[in-house]
Structure formats: structure tokens, C-alpha cells
Structure 1
Amino acid sequence: MKTSFEKIVDVQAIGGRNPEKINDLSAFARSESFPPSAADTERVLFVGIDFQNDFMENGELGVPHSHRDIENATKFIYHNLEKITTIAVSIDTHQPKQIFHPFWWVDGSGKHPEPLTIITLEDVEGGKWTPAEKYEESLEYVRNLEKSGKKQLCIWPFHCIQGTTGAALESQFSNMIHFHSFARNANLQKIVKGLDPLSEMYGIIKPEYDRDHYCNHQFLESLKTYDKIIVAGEAKSHCVLESVKQIAEHYADNREITSRIFLLEDCMSPIPGFEKVTAEEFNRLRNQYKVNIVTSESFTL
């Protein structure tokens, strides 16, 4: 390939200001002679989950080792540019007033919860934490989280607020996926998630709970058209894990599809404190659904 990795990705700039301009990347890509992705006989999907500034090490909800994950993921895409048919990325997008942000809740003295506070059904029913509005809907949400065995309601720091720099794709990852789009004449799929004020949406398929039972059926159906589905992203313990679980559970009776999933374990990291449960869940995905857990260096297309 004529364009070096370093012309696309500046490893020192990961998590910071982008030194490259997108029109320059387009020009580099046009100098290449890759066949269009539509001509691929083996169809490969790369799914990048929430590689956004606020999940970088210096972000509002920074994930340790996320800069390393970006470096590994971008090198993997670069070395497999001609073999990756489509890239899809999720973009976590929020408003300040959502059920998992501090503004939503107050205690008896009118104070908001600190980040990482866990709010249980007992807390809400007993009045320890009260929603500033939409009491019945909030109670319903917490009740259904516990009823379905989902993750408990965790209050997160404000992050990925719509329109802010923190919500944007990390710059060097953005460089690489847009370069791929230009060079392969491929549609770059961007999946915005997380705007419902009354629900957390870790996974890219559906919220933790919502009255309308939203499900991204279009994306699920599209997975049938790929021979390999490669997944990377942040955080391994939350948005990556829930996304893969949702896909695997949807196709629970079709191991032909779940066995096409490859998780690049060195391109994702957990939120501290969730390492053990994440490892257990990944083992379950491998044993129950035949999902493949690999590294970007060992896995070849």
C-alpha cells in the first residue's frame, strides 16, 4: 500500500487533537487501487463500539488502556484494509438529564448522587433516591432491571453529551475508518444510541429496558450477510459485552452465525472493578455460543 500507517494514524495524538484533515485522508485513499468492497467474495464486518473521546484515558468516563486499544484496532484495520468489507461504529450519545446521570435523582436533602452510585429498587421505593421527575416511569425502569437480571442502575459521570467533543469518535480511529471508506468505496455505518432519557443503552441492539421494546432489527438482519464479524471497542465490561450478548442471544439457535463473531480482546478494556464478571461473561459467550476470542495480532483474515 502506498500510504503508510503513520500518514493515517498518529499514535501520539490518540485521545487528543487530530493533526490530519479529512480531505487529505481522502486524497491519500484515492492514490490507492483497492477493489471496491462490493466486489468482496468473503464479506467481513468490523464493528467498532463506542471508540469515542469520553471513553479515552483522559475522557469524562475514561477507560484505562483505551489508547492501546485504539492503536491495536487501527493497525488491524490497516493490515486488513483490502479484506474488511464494511465498518460499522456505534456512537453513544446522551443529554445531561437522563436516568443514569446525576441530575435525574435527589436524596432527602436535595443532593444529587455521586458518579458510580448504584440505585436499587429498594432505594427508590424507600425514598433514599427520588427522581426529579417521571417517578412512575423511573420506578418501572429500576423494577424491570432487577426483574430481568440486567445490570443495576449505575449513575455515571456526564459523558458523551450530544454535540460535545467528548461524544465525537476518537480522532485517530476516525481517520482509519474514514480512510477505509474512501479507499474501498465502502459505506461507513454509524449507529447512534443512548438518547432515550428513560433508559440506559449499553448494547447496540436494544436498551436495557424500555416500554416500546426497541430493537435494531435492521442491523441484526444484516449480520446474516457476513462471513466474519469482528468486534472491538469500549468498554469491554459494558457496551462491548452487552452488544455481543444481545447479538448472541438473538441468534441463540443459530451457531452458524454466532460462531462467525470474533472478539479482538487486545482492542477493548474493561472499566476497573468489572474485570472478574467480564471475564466470566466472555467465557460464557465462548462456551455457550461458540463466539471466538482472539487477539488482533494472532487473528488473520
Structure 2
Amino acid sequence: MKTPFHHIFDTDSVGQTINPLPLNHLLRWANLEQIEPDTSSPKTLFLGIDIQQDFMDNGALGVPGAAQDVIRLGQFIYNNVEKISSIIVSLDTHEPAQIFHPYWWVDEDGNHPTPYTVIKPEDLTNGKWHAIIDPALSKHYVRQLEKVGKQLCIWPYHCINGTTGWALENQFSNLIHFMSVAANIPIQKICKGQHPLSEMYGIIRPEYSTHDNTNIELLEKIATFDKIVIAGEAKSHCVLESIKQICEYYYDKLDITRKIYVLTDCMSDIPGFEQQSQMAYKILVSKYKINLVKSTDNFL
């Protein structure tokens, strides 16, 4: 790699709305690189989950530690560019009028819930909350979540489609697009979470749907790689659920799930969910043999 890391990735600007490194300039340099892939390395996918502006520390749904996660991730990608065969990134993509946003719900006085309010089936039965859009379907959704041990959490408005908060984090975006040109690495971008009547933490399917919305095409593509490296935000929610959904689909194919490598130092929990997150990852390791690694480990 001829171009120094700091010419592509400005660590002081991670999570900021102003990008001091214009992508057009970077891609001109990228055209001069002509990086050759390491053909002796396993075919490796980097799967980046929701590495977006709104999930950075100071974002609308900020995850403490996210900026440092992105810096470590950026260094990992830069150091391993010859070994990465393909990049897939997800983009949480929402509108204000969705079931997990305050707009959807009101109490008897017409007040909307504050962020991080949990709405349970009994809250709908006793009139504590009611939906102003599709009340019957909304109640059905909350009840279905409870049946599978989940709850509806109201989040701050975040990742509203087309806003600066929805965009990929600037320096991460610079880096993967530079690498895509310099090393001819394909990038696939997946928008998730657009259905108004369901949360969609994982990249494979929504939390609940009356239809089978499983992304089989993506699952089959992921399975073609020798190693699947995963990082993103938040560790306790969208990253965790994405990994669970992949593992649950390939529950009887440990030869696939054991190819998953999770960069534990390139993702952080939403505060308050640390303990259950830790337990969930332990279960995934035990049941599906996924690998928890650090970005500085030698595993590629």
C-alpha cells in the first residue's frame, strides 16, 4: 500500500459531519494503487453492520465507544486489504412514522413515549399506550414479540433515510470506497428496517412479519466465503441479531457458522444491555462455534 493510512482516514474526524478528506480526491489516488489480492489467502468477506453517523458517540442513537471502534476497524481493513475479497455493509434505514419511534404511540393525554420506553402487551390492554397508526396490527406485533421473548423498545429517531445521520460514517466510507477502487474489492450495500410495522435489527429478516421476508440470497452469498469477518454497531443489538440470524439459518451446518469471526474490539454495546449481550455471545460461541477475536489478532 503506497498511500499512508492517515491520507485516507482522518481519525480526528470520525463521527463528525464534516469530512476533511473529499472522496473524489481519494479515489484519484486509489486509481494509482493497483493493489494485487493475496491469492494464497482464504476467500474473505467483511460484513459491516450499521456503521453509520447516527450510531457514533454523538449521533442520534449514539453508542458510547463507537468512534474508537471505527478507528480500530479502519486500521484492520487497511492492514488486511490484500486479504479481503468482498465487502457488504448494511444501512439501518427508517422514517419517523415507524412502530419503534415515539411518533407511533400516545398515552391517554396525547403524550408520545420518551426514547427507551418499553411497550408491553399489558400496556395496550390497560390503555397506558395506544397506537395512532394501525392499532390492531400494532397490538398484534407487540404480542407476537412477547411470544418469542422480545419486547418493543422505543428508540430516538435515528437513521432517517436521506439524512446525514443515515449515511455511512465518513472515514469508514472513505476507506472502503478507496479500497474498492485500489484493490478491485466489490461493495454491496443493504438497506434494512424500512417496514413501518416491524423493527429489523438483523440483516436477514425483521423481528416479526406475517410473510417470510428472510433474505435467502444474502445468506447463500455469505456461505460461499471461507471466512466471514463481522463488526459494527451496536454489539448488543444489530450486530448480535445479524449473527444470530445467520447462525440460526445454518443451525445444522457448523462448517459455515465456524467461519464467522467477530471483531470484539470494533463494536460496543448500547448502555444497559452489556450483561445480556455478553451472555448471548457466549451462547453463540458454544452452540455455533463462532470465533470472537480482536482486530489485532492474526486470524486471516
CA contact (8 A) 2:15 2:57 kept: yes
CA contact (8 A) 1:262 1:291 kept: yes
Q: CA deviation at 1:36?
A: 5.9
Q: Per the alignment, do residues 243 and 281 of structure 1 end up closer, same or farther by CA in structure 2, a change over 3 Å counting?
A: same
Residue by residue over 1:77-120, the C-alpha shift from the partner in whole angstroms, topping out at 9 and shown as x without a partner, is 00000000011100001000100000000001111001000000
Instruction: State the match for 1:79 in structure 2.
Output: 79
Instruction: State the match for 2:7 in structure 1.
Output: 7
Which letter maps to 2:90? S
1:258-277 mapped onto 2 (5 Å cutoff): 258-277=257-276
CA contact (8 A) 2:84 2:185 kept: no
For the residue of structure 2 that corresponds to 1:215, the secondary structure is coil
Residue 23 of structure 1 pairs with residue 8 of structure 2: no
Instruction: State the match for 1:108 in structure 2.
Output: 108
Structure 1 runs (4+) greater than 6 angstroms displaced:
none
Counterparts of 2:230 and 2:141, CA distance in 1: 29
Q: CA deviation at 1:300?
A: 3.3
Instruction: State the match for 1:32 in structure 2.
Output: 33
TM-score normalised per structure 2: 0.97
Counterparts of 1:147 and 1:214, CA distance in 2: 19
Which letter maps to 2:13? A
Counterparts of 1:33 and 1:185, CA distance in 2: 8
Aligned-residue sequence identity (percent) comes to: 54
- Unaligned 5+ segments in structure 1 are none
For the residue of structure 2 that corresponds to 1:137, the secondary structure is helix
Counterparts of 2:188 and 2:12, CA distance in 1: 27
Instruction: State the match for 2:160 in structure 1.
Output: 161
Instruction: State the match for 1:220 in structure 2.
Output: 219
1:135-146 mapped onto 2 (5 Å cutoff): 135-146=135-146
Counterparts of 1:181 and 1:233, CA distance in 2: 19
Instruction: State the match for 2:235 in structure 1.
Output: 236
Q: CA deviation at 1:209?
A: 0.3
Instruction: State the match for 2:195 in structure 1.
Output: 196
TM-score normalised per structure 1: 0.97
- Unaligned 5+ segments in structure 2 are none
The Cα RMSD (Å) is 1.2
Counterparts of 1:296 and 1:41, CA distance in 2: 17
Residue by residue over 1:244-265, the C-alpha shift from the partner in whole angstroms, topping out at 9 and shown as x without a partner, is 0000110010000000000000
Q: CA deviation at 1:213?
A: 2.4
Q: CA deviation at 1:35?
A: 2.6
Counterparts of 1:239 and 1:124, CA distance in 2: 26
